[in-house]
Structure 1
Amino acid sequence: MIKRYCAALLLSAVAWLQQDVQAGAIDDAVRRGVLKVGTTPTYVPFEMTDKQGRIVGFEIDLLTVMSQAMGVELELVSVPYTELVPGLLARKFDMIGSGMTVTQERNLKLNFSDSFIVVGQTVLLHPSLVGKVTSVEDLDDPHYRIATTEGTTGEAAARRFLGAARLSRFATPEEGVRHVVDGKADAFIHDAPYNLIALSRAENSALFLLEQPFTFEPLAFGLKKGDFDSLNWINHFLNQVAQDGTYDRLHDKWFKDTDWLTEID
């Protein structure tokens, strides 16, 4: 009797463990009725805060369509960029949706979906450098002060390509741009979409943009290691919206139209 009871208990434990291992972020979200996504709403036009305090943007719209396809609500968990990976590993949210570039270093800690867009790093220059600096290589000099955003691939690219320059890190890209505008830095390194839109703002209009990206950076959704079922679902979702016109509609809304700029805080 005791042996049969222990065997039954062991089988129940094994079944529970198998179910727990097999359950992924998407399964958990469907069961819960809510998809929790970690994001840092400072990356224009992917995720940002509007004047009503709502988090909006191209990637947020993609996540909204994704959650609708699952039949669940979308819950955005706003955290600093440097806390995204620790937060995912600590199960504070199901996935990362925050303009995150797929890098080899990050891929050691996370699984990534297929890329939903490819960007690259560009340079915003102080107007005094127009004609003096024509490429990122020109900035690799101790004379120049380079602003970056902490924890981003812009910071990593600056360290890689501009090791001789004086680098400063800021919590948000807005702070980095402001330092260039105020003449406290000579250049700001960040993703091309953000720099293009930053340049369109009146307060930054005097800056000069080196438009040619000097890195290749695919952006993707991040999930915990081993969550292959969720990756399969998300990759099929991305393929579906690319084929049915949804992706193009959302892309045009945020990258071709500029009406939304008036609503951003």
Structure 2
Amino acid sequence: MPPRKACGDYTFRMPISARTASSSLRILFKGIVGAVLAIVLLAGCVTNEEQGNPEGWQEIVPAENPELAALVPEDIAAKGYLSMGTNPPFAPFEFKNSQGDIIGLEIDLARALAGVLGLELRTVEQDFAMILPAVSAGTLDFGGSGFTDTEERRKNYDFVNTLNAGVRWAQRADREDTIDPDHACGLTVAVQRTTVSETDDVRPKSEECVAAGKPAIEVLSYDTSDTAATALVLGRADAFSADSPVLSWAVERSDGRMVEVGEMFQAAPYGFAVPKDSELGDALAAAMEQLIADGTYEELLAQWNITEGLLDHAQINGQPLVEG
């Protein structure tokens, strides 16, 4: 078997004959197939699914703490597991390895929290926009999919915070000029649909452009973050906006095709979403406090190369359970 090429070794060029109006259907078909293959290969470069967990990764599942397990709502304790809705790929928070298993930072953290509470973790893959409604409906115990803990979302949900992060932009490395996220009127920006990058970053900026008499930002909304990143790599977008850990992960695995631009902004807490005033939120926060206190939390995040934005104490909706 020939050695696997690095991402940068793949180059797709449409045959000249396929660009002419007189091209045969067969040549045109080859061109289309080639383009599709290029997209698949580049998408693999961005998400790097075949790599799976980071080098040196170890599963960490703490022993049950009976005192904290007693805080779990009776219906959840009776079934013996927590169901978490998630929407891969959103690496490093959650994505699939080559075997199709959902892995990632939030999976590891949720599994550790469940272990402290004497429960198993079961992940349920869903569309991102349907996770919170499913939590409200009671078909999921909680949601974990890179949720930013916003004031708007707090009206209907509580968030057991996991870390602090923000929004960041990237552009193609071969672009001659450097994009300024604060002056992006007239550009095309790729985002994952319904994420904060779309609702709180790019679309409001576009509205400001129009209000100032400048060209709007064209927003390309995709179902997944890796598809949005691939749109940038393929030249369909001028920039890519995403949560800072997600964007950094994509840039690192883009084989030098993307670079980060500007500073991180709109820093905010991220968290697991539970129903408003849920007892489960208190139980998860208590388990989080234990993980932070004994160093497990820091160890879990370090495995995913996240060393900034860590919490000193467990929080719900940005408010620490323990002062100091």
TM range (shorter): 0.7 to 0.9
* Count of aligned pairs between the two proteins: 229
Tell me which amino acid in the other structure corresponds to 1:191: D
Asked if 1:32 is matched to 2:75, the reply is no
Tell me which residue corresponds to 1:263.
Answer: none
Q: For residue 130 of structure 1, report the CA deviation from its aligned partner.
A: 4.7
Tell me, in whole angstroms, the C-alpha distance in 1 between the residues paired with 2:306 and 2:271. 21
SS at match of 1:116: strand
Question: C-alpha deviations, 1:34-91, integer Å up to 9, x for none?
Answer: 1111111221111111111111111111111111112122111110101111111221
SS at match of 2:112: helix
Asked if 1:171 is matched to 2:223, the reply is yes
With over 3 angstroms needed to count, the CA separation of the structure-2 counterparts of 1:129 and 1:162, relative to structure 1, is farther
Gaps (5+ residues) in structure 2? 1-70, 208-215, 308-324
- What fraction of aligned residue pairs are identical, expressed as a percent? 26
Aligned residues of 2:88 and 2:224 also touching (Cα < 8 A): no
Q: For residue 132 of structure 1, report the CA deviation from its aligned partner.
A: 3.6
Tell me which residue corresponds to 2:163.
Answer: 117
Tell me, in whole angstroms, the C-alpha distance in 2 between the residues paired with 1:29 and 1:103. 26
Tell me which residue corresponds to 2:268.
Answer: 217
Aligned residues of 2:90 and 2:226 also touching (Cα < 8 A): no
| 1:138 alignment partner, one of 183, 186, 196 | 183
Q: For residue 129 of structure 1, report the CA deviation from its aligned partner.
A: 3.8
Tell me which amino acid in the other structure corresponds to 1:124: A
Aligned residues of 1:25 and 1:95 also touching (Cα < 8 A): no
Tell me, in whole angstroms, the C-alpha distance in 2 between the residues paired with 1:130 and 1:25. 55
With over 3 angstroms needed to count, the CA separation of the structure-2 counterparts of 1:112 and 1:202, relative to structure 1, is closer
Q: For residue 236 of structure 1, report the CA deviation from its aligned partner.
A: 1.5
Q: For residue 138 of structure 1, report the CA deviation from its aligned partner.
A: 2.1
Gaps (5+ residues) in structure 1? 1-23, 258-265
Q: What TM-score does the superposition give when structure 2 sets the normalisation length? A: 0.67
Tell me which residue corresponds to 1:19.
Answer: none
Tell me which residue corresponds to 1:232.
Answer: 282
Tell me which residue corresponds to 1:147.
Answer: 190
With over 3 angstroms needed to count, the CA separation of the structure-2 counterparts of 1:25 and 1:112, relative to structure 1, is farther
| 1:255 alignment partner, one of 292, 305, 308 | 305
Asked if 1:161 is matched to 2:161, the reply is no
Q: What TM-score does the superposition give when structure 1 sets the normalisation length? A: 0.81
